Structure 1
Amino acid sequence: MFSKSAGINILSLARFFLFGARDVWFVVALPVFLQQALGWRFWEVGGFMGLWVIGYGIVQGSAPALRRSWGQSAPPGVKAVEFWSGSLTAIPALIAIALWREAAHPGIAVVVGLAAFGLVFAMNSSIHSYMILAYTEAEDVSLNVGFYYMANAAGRLVGTVLSGALFLVGGLQACLWASALLVALAFAVSTRLPMPPRQLSTQATDGSRA
């Protein structure tokens, strides 16, 4: 059932938690909150969610160019996975705190927070997709990528179910705290990732030349 590669198994588990963290508040809780609590109309909710998905896709597709513009010319590695998942952990928690403390209008807190979440989440997702190929041998690409996206789908399913259940119990704030917890689990799992074989061999070659 599992891959022969420890890196792929660990990355797939991190992917499971990462996409669960998105859908636990994005799929059910957020649109219901926008309509019920903020009084948005159906087309406003649908248009906003659609624009978010488009923006997320643009950022994800532009991730390599964005990394180069930030001076990161080397391929992403384990540290990049840890950095972006660690950064993402804080965002849903900050949105939940802002709603709880009424630090800003709920609409502003949610819209600004969701934009930040989408940006950092897209970087996470893009780097995950690069890393799965970095761990995969040429003859096992379809098997390993399929296993990885199975974990992705499982995380989305769990997140969707929890989104509705937690919203009924504790509203959007409960879903946001669950999101923060799931991203924290993705970060914790990511700390166990081994260095990809190609990067390890390159490091060994560079060391032998020194």
Structure 2
Amino acid sequence: MLSQLPKSVRQYIIVTGNYWSFTLTDGALRMLVVLYFHQLGYGALDIALLFLFYEFFGVITNLFGGWLGAKWGLNRTMNIGLAMQVIALSMLLLPASFLTIPWVMAAQALSGIAKDLNKMSAKSAIKTLVPKNASGTLYKWVALLTGSKNALKGVGFFLGGFLLSTIGFHNAILAMAIALAIVWLASLYLLREDLGKSKKKPKFSQMFSKSTEINILSAARLFLFGARDVWFVIAIPVYLSSQFDWDHWRVGSFLALWVIGYGIVQSLAPHITGKTKQQIPTGTQAKFWAILLTTIPAAIAIGLESADQVLWILLSGLIVFGIVFAINSSLHSYLIVHYASEDGVSLDVGFYYMANAMGRLIGTILSGWIYQDFGLTACLWVSCGFLILTSVISFWLPQKATN
């Protein structure tokens, strides 16, 4: 059945399958680390530091990974990412007494490199598989890949909480390492060798984008993801656990459902932002949805300070934020692939996701520090400030559709 499909569709399915498998383990690993080390008595800032190298090396990886993808081919960078995640998981199989903060940070650093190699490869590959001037198809494929990835990341959160509650940290890590190793071996055999390889030998200096549109979009992306992670990554799971006595299962399940819903909305973004194939995203839409998103964390912060039903306000606010954020993210994901050059697409995509990783890094560090010293409301106001910057930057994006 698979062999009867067009070659580009077969490659898209393999790339998506790799991305899905990786994302499932990545989401589960994040939830396992947050909940397990919180259970061991680590504070919010300590937990945030465990992810410091994960996010930092994501920045470096996207910068160099785009150049490597253009030089070696996206199949190789994707397979390297899968292999590195297996190694990162294996590093956490040591007894609990050996899982010191430096060791876990090192494992997370390797996982961060793996994650961004995999994501950069998957997003870049779509550009090479969709025919030129097929913007509607490109938008749908990007939305489907991005949305399904985040839905599976949510399943990974659920899986992480479930596995920690049932079979424990060590056995959960072992099971994921074995499963991903099988996926990696299959990918080595199935993914074709020349995917995304630049026809010209890419220069090292080309890692930094010279495109005005991509530079502007990258800056907007940095603050967009910083605005999410400054309250979602560390503050929310710790707050739900400490303030409402939610156990691992409840925290993991809620965050899983949130990310799954977020992914579904991303997949549906083409239908939400434009009902016809001709209505493809522009800077105007990116600007509108960024401004709308800015109001949500501010409303939640005000609600938490002035109302009695704190839990209801927080959970409903999270849902609304997730919906609008998902549309923003999907618009950005399309625009970067659309703006990227045809030859050596991973160079542009890698630079853009470097900014994305920088936003996550800043958001993660601030999430632990601000929550620990000032509380959740302060995290929400910082999120609002970041989104104001995203909105302002979005005014400089091209406001009309380009082919």
**Gaps in structure 1 of 5+ consecutive residues:** 203-210
Find out whether 1:57 has 2:242 as its counterpart: no
Aligned to 2:315: 111
Q: CA deviation at 1:68?
A: 3.5
Q: CA deviation at 1:39?
A: 2.2
TM-score, scaled to structure 1 = 0.89
Query: What secondary structure sits across from 2:245 in the alignment?
Result: coil
The question of whether the paired residues in 2 share the 8 Å contact of 1:2 and 1:9 is answered with: no
What is the CA–CA distance in structure 2 between the aligned matches of 1:100 and 1:72, rounded to whole Å? 44
Letter matched to residue 88 of structure 1: L
Aligned to 1:188: 392
Letter matched to residue 175 of structure 1: C
Match of 1:28 among 212, 228, 234: 234
Structure number with greater Rg is 2
Q: 1:190 to 1:140 in 2, by over 3 A?
A: farther
Find out whether 1:176 has 2:372 as its counterpart: no
Aligned to 2:210: 4
Find out whether 1:45 has 2:251 as its counterpart: yes
Q: CA deviation at 1:169?
A: 1.7
Letter matched to residue 315 of structure 2: V
Find out whether 1:16 has 2:238 as its counterpart: no
Aligned to 1:205: none
Structure 1 residue runs of 4+, over 3 Å off? none
Aligned to 1:78: 283
What does the per-residue CA deviation read over 1:94-120, in whole Å, with 9 as the maximum and x for residues that have no partner? 000000112x51111111000000000
The question of whether the paired residues in 2 share the 8 Å contact of 1:96 and 1:173 is answered with: yes
What is the CA–CA distance in structure 1 between the aligned matches of 2:321 and 2:277, rounded to whole Å? 21
The question of whether the paired residues in 1 share the 8 Å contact of 2:266 and 2:326 is answered with: yes
The question of whether the paired residues in 2 share the 8 Å contact of 1:67 and 1:73 is answered with: no
Query: What secondary structure sits across from 1:37 in the alignment?
Result: helix
Farther off after superposition, 133-142 or 1-10: 133-142
Letter matched to residue 159 of structure 1: G
The question of whether the paired residues in 2 share the 8 Å contact of 1:7 and 1:135 is answered with: yes
Q: CA deviation at 1:134?
A: 2.4
What is the CA–CA distance in structure 2 between the aligned matches of 1:188 and 1:53, rounded to whole Å? 27
Query: What secondary structure sits across from 2:279 in the alignment?
Result: coil
Q: CA deviation at 1:153?
A: 1.0
Q: CA deviation at 1:47?
A: 0.6
What is the CA–CA distance in structure 1 between the aligned matches of 2:399 and 2:295, rounded to whole Å? 26
The question of whether the paired residues in 1 share the 8 Å contact of 2:283 and 2:399 is answered with: yes
Q: CA deviation at 1:195?
A: 4.5
What does the per-residue CA deviation read over 1:107-148, in whole Å, with 9 as the maximum and x for residues that have no partner? 111110000000000000000011112222211411101111
What is the CA–CA distance in structure 1 between the aligned matches of 2:277 and 2:305, rounded to whole Å? 37
Q: CA deviation at 1:65?
A: 2.1
Q: CA deviation at 1:194?
A: 3.0
What is the CA–CA distance in structure 2 between the aligned matches of 1:92 and 1:8, rounded to whole Å? 27
Letter matched to residue 177 of structure 1: W
Larger RCO (alpha carbons 8 Å, 6+ apart): 1
Q: CA deviation at 1:73?
A: 4.9
What percent of counterpart residues are identical? 52
**Gaps in structure 2 of 5+ consecutive residues:** 1-206
Aligned to 1:143: 347
How many positions carry a matched residue from both structures? Answer: 197
Query: What secondary structure sits across from 1:192 in the alignment?
Result: coil
Q: 1:72 to 1:86 in 2, by over 3 A?
A: farther
What is the CA–CA distance in structure 1 between the aligned matches of 2:394 and 2:344, rounded to whole Å? 22
The question of whether the paired residues in 2 share the 8 Å contact of 1:136 and 1:144 is answered with: yes
What is the CA–CA distance in structure 2 between the aligned matches of 1:5 and 1:138, rounded to whole Å? 13
The question of whether the paired residues in 2 share the 8 Å contact of 1:14 and 1:187 is answered with: yes
Q: CA deviation at 1:10?
A: 0.7
